[in-house]
Amino acid sequence: MFNVIAKKYGDPDILIYEKSASHKIASDSVRINVKGIGVNFADILIIKGKYQERPRPPFSPGLEVSGIISEIGSNVKKFKIGDSVVAIMKYGGYKTEVVVPQENTYFLPQGMDLLEAGGFPVIYGTAFSAIVTKARLKKNEKCVILGATGGVGMAAIEIAKAYGANVIACGGDDRKLSECLKKGADTVLNYNNNILRQELKKIGVSEVDVVIDMVGGQSSLDLVKSLKWDGRIIIVGFTSGKIPEIPANRLLLKNARAEGLYWGELAYRKPEEIEKDLKVLGQLFKDNKLNPCINKIFDLQDAPQALKELSDRKNIGKIILKC
Ligand SMILES: NC(=O)c1ccc[n+]([C@@H]2O[C@H](COP(=O)([O-])OP(=O)(O)OC[C@H]3O[C@@H](n4cnc5c(N)ncnc54)[C@H](OP(=O)(O)O)[C@@H]3O)[C@@H](O)[C@H]2O)c1
């Protein structure tokens, strides 16, 4: 099998594509012949050694794959050889073949393209946990998505709309924001134009129920000030590079809560919860409420270019590696 390996920490161009021996299969694992691999912002951080998960080199990045099961361990009952699946891992997905515990492997949503499914679990799973499980978003609530122009953000727009919310999508690029409108956002705001709280006031919004935050920094602090009574802010990421220090008095005054989400770890601690979520997401996909947006597909050996495209913020939608 072939894989893309980081032999030291650094930028994506340190990645090496090479042949290596297949992994042994454990009794409760499946071997997957990989077809598609989702490229995520976390892959850039993990290669640099700046992610929560810090594997020691050499290692392969990659949180999610799709493919066909080619072998099953002796205790595997849920799957058979030939099944089309997606799988989630802490790292190690940039490979033509992976061995994954059966509990972190899930059937492909019905009707989804096998290659494109490689980019589905992380962004949709994260957005679902943030909006439905953590924020418990209700119909007609006002939901701000900070970082709406990214992978998780675009998935979040679709899910929030599917649950009947009024969605305000915030990003830093007008071209990408116009895609957010096509995804169903009711309003878009560019956080580079002005203080977000003032931008909200300009469109007649003084308070919001829910904030899903992928960006952090000053915009995040602005939005805490805009939370309604019983408001919720869900912390998903810090793409701005700045971790906001949320003032506790703001939460107290609004009876509000700020809650963190670490979906990758949740997927390992509560795989049964992820399975339930993916089933709901599969149904939403079948009902045409979700329309995963693929930006570009690269060959696995071109992983450094794929990651560069993501770090240059050129992409609208998901980047996929194919085997
Ligand atoms: N907590 C979890 O379990 C979990 C799970 C998945 C992802 N995440 C995190 O969520 C964040 C978003 O992930 P993603 O897959 O949606 O990433 P992505 O597709 O690369 O999108 C990045 C988003 O952040 C915005 N952004 C603002 N400042 C940025 C900067 N300096 N560099 C890059 N982007 C910037 C971008 O908007 P503009 O370009 O329009 O400004 C875009 O909306 C990441 O931090 C990721 O690690 C967390």
Ordered DSSP codes for 182-217: HTT-SEEEETTTS-HHHHHHHTT---EEEEEESS-H
Taking the centre of ligand 1 as the mean of its atom positions, its distance from the CA of residue 150, in whole angstroms, is: 6
pLDDT of residue 7: 98
Q: Is the distance from the beta carbon of residue 38 to the nearest atom of ligand 1 less than 6 Å? A: no
128-144: average pLDDT: 98
Task: Considering the domain delimited by 2-120+292-322, tell me its CATH architecture.
Answer: Alpha-Beta Complex (3.90)
Helices assigned H by DSSP within 106-247: 114-117, 121-128, 151-162, 174-182, 196-202, 217-225
CATH of domain 123-263: 3.40.50.720
Q: Is the distance from the beta carbon of residue 177 to the nearest atom of ligand 1 less than 6 Å? A: no
pTM: 0.97
Q: Is the distance from the beta carbon of residue 107 to the nearest atom of ligand 1 less than 6 Å? A: no
Domain boundaries, the chain: 2-120+292-322, 123-263
Q: Which of 152, 196, 243 best tests ligand 1's pocket when mutated (most atoms within 8 Å of CB)? A: 152
Residues 6+ apart with CB under 8 A from 114: 35, 36, 66, 67, 68, 84, 108
Assess whether the region 2-120+292-322 and the region 123-263 belong to the same CATH fold: no
Q: Is the distance from the beta carbon of residue 150 to the nearest atom of ligand 1 less than 6 Å? A: yes
Q: Is the distance from the beta carbon of residue 128 to the nearest atom of ligand 1 less than 6 Å? A: no
pLDDT, tens digit, 9 for 90 and up, residues 259-318: 999 999 999 999 999 999 999 999 999 999 999 999 999 999 999 999 999 999 988 989
For the chain, give the mean pLDDT: 96
- CA nearest ligand 1 atom 42, residue: 150
Residue with tokens 């799957």: 79
Taking the centre of ligand 1 as the mean of its atom positions, its distance from the CA of residue 316, in whole angstroms, is: 12
Q: Which of 37, 40, 41, 51 best tests ligand 1's pocket when mutated (most atoms within 8 Å of CB)? A: 41
pLDDT, tens digit, 9 for 90 and up, residues 167-198: 999 999 999 999 999 999 999 999 998 899 99
pLDDT, tens digit, 9 for 90 and up, residues 231-252: 999 999 999 999 999 999 999 9
Tokens standing for 87? 């799988």
Q: For strand 97-101 and strand 166-171, is the pairing parallel, antiparallel, or unpaired?
A: unpaired
Contact at 8 Å (CB) between 90 and 63?
Answer: yes
Instruction: List for the chain the helix, strand, coil content (%; round to 5).
Output: 35, 30, 40
Q: Is the distance from the beta carbon of residue 83 to the nearest atom of ligand 1 less than 6 Å? A: no
